[in-house]
Amino acid sequence: MSKVTAKAVHEIIELTTELTSSQIQSLLDGGWTTESLLEGVQNGLSTYSDFTTLPLWEQRLLKEKEPWGSAPSETVKLAHKRLPMNGTVAEFGFGYGRDLVWLAQRRKRLAGVELSQVGFSSTYKRLCQLPGRKKPGRAPLEGISLVRASIGFGVLGQLAGAYSHRMLHLLDPKTQLPQAVQSMVRSVNLDGFLVIGARSYHDYDASAESLENVVYDKDGLPLKAEYNSPDRPGHILHYYSPRRFLNAFWPYCEITELWHGKELESVDAKNSDGTERFCHFITAVMRVVAHTRNDEPFLQSKLPILQEFPSVSENNASGLRD
């Protein structure tokens, strides 16, 4: 696959409508490959409409505005520490931008992919409102490329690294995950890093009233659960364990660190006894060692130990502080 040099697009491109030739050029300039773009134009719209839970995110982001608060996640803070300062760093599934906005105050070159129109527009507004971005003669999104699409849509080329928080567990392991993993892996340079946080099996609450259709793995860890609460019908979570990360990203990535974290499930979510509801996640730091299955095979013998983020080890209940 040929790649073009990544450079900032300075323009938002809506991938749900037919693309004009100048938009295609702009995407290519932003690092998308011709092959992935053609693939996407042919398949992208159906991928988009097949994404059946999209209305759920649109509704939540419209209604709740900032459901996960405004402080950055522990995943983005770790990504900022681990990823090189030179080069572009991307976020996959940035929601209303709590992490991207935090990072935009610390880094010059960023990219992001998000499917929700509401999330996308809120992030755009938040980025434009950052101090110093409204200088005369300066494009508000200078250095930042935002693409509204499903992450399985294509490949953002030649990134120094990328991260994602609380999105991977939403992807169906058969129909969405393989394509999404390939997009993320192939977007990052070899030896670059992916820092990915996904809801973990620590999260499983057997007593939740809305719980349905739980699937366990052979060791008895929950793999999948459906939560059919009135405010979130059909919300399906695919829980991650260290081994599931290994399987999902094999043979493309070597896992170098694993972290267990905790943050509010959402600002408004409460348990039946009125206490705040938390969500647990595992964040994996992974070095990209192969872009295709034909690259030299990589075999990993063991996983790093699972360390604890301050939200867990210091019993910091909110997990949302800076």
Smallest distance, ligand SAM to C-beta of residue 135, A: 28
Question: Contact at 8 Å (CB) between 212 and 228?
Answer: yes
For residue 259, the cross-strand partners are 283, 307
Smallest distance, ligand SAM to C-beta of residue 54, A: 7
First to last CA, the chain: 40
Q: Which of 26, 33, 36, 73 binds ligand SAM (CB under 6 A)?
A: 73
Q: Which of residues 190-219 bind ligand SAM (CB under 6 A)?
A: none
The reply to whether 104 sits near ligand SAM by the rule CB under 6 A is no
The reply to whether 240 sits near ligand SAM by the rule CB under 6 A is no
Alpha-carbon dihedral 66, 283, 171, 275, rounded to 10 degrees:
-50
The reply to whether 102 sits near ligand SAM by the rule CB under 6 A is no
Which of 10-18, 79-87, 160-168, 224-232 is the region at the interface with ligand SAM (rule: CB under 6 A)? 160-168
Helices (H), the chain: 21-29, 34-50, 54-64, 74-82, 98-104, 117-128, 177-187, 242-249, 310-313
The reply to whether 177 sits near ligand SAM by the rule CB under 6 A is no
The reply to whether 44 sits near ligand SAM by the rule CB under 6 A is no
Cα distance between residue 129 and residue 125, in whole Å = 6
For residue 215, the cross-strand partners are 224
Smallest distance, ligand SAM to C-beta of residue 152, A: 6
Look at the alpha carbons of 314, 317, 320, 322 in this order and tell me if their dihedral is positive or negative.
Answer: negative
The reply to whether 123 sits near ligand SAM by the rule CB under 6 A is no
Alpha-carbon dihedral 39, 41, 45, 50, rounded to 10 degrees:
10
The reply to whether 77 sits near ligand SAM by the rule CB under 6 A is no
Q: Which is nearer to ligand SAM, 50 or 295 (CB)?
A: 50
Smallest distance, ligand SAM to C-beta of residue 291, A: 20
Structure tokens at 189: 């340079």
Phi, psi of 146 (to 5 degrees): -110, 135
Q: Which of 68, 124, 193, 240 binds ligand SAM (CB under 6 A)?
A: 68
The reply to whether 94 sits near ligand SAM by the rule CB under 6 A is yes
Which of 79-87, 129-137, 161-169, 187-195 is the region at the interface with ligand SAM (rule: CB under 6 A)? 161-169
The reply to whether 98 sits near ligand SAM by the rule CB under 6 A is yes
**CB-CB neighbours of 129 under 10 Å:** 11
Specify the pairing of strand 110-114 against strand 89-92.
Answer: parallel
Smallest distance, ligand SAM to C-beta of residue 89, A: 14
Residues that bind ligand SAM (CB under 6 A): 51, 57, 68, 73, 93-95, 98, 113-116, 119, 150-151, 165-167, 170
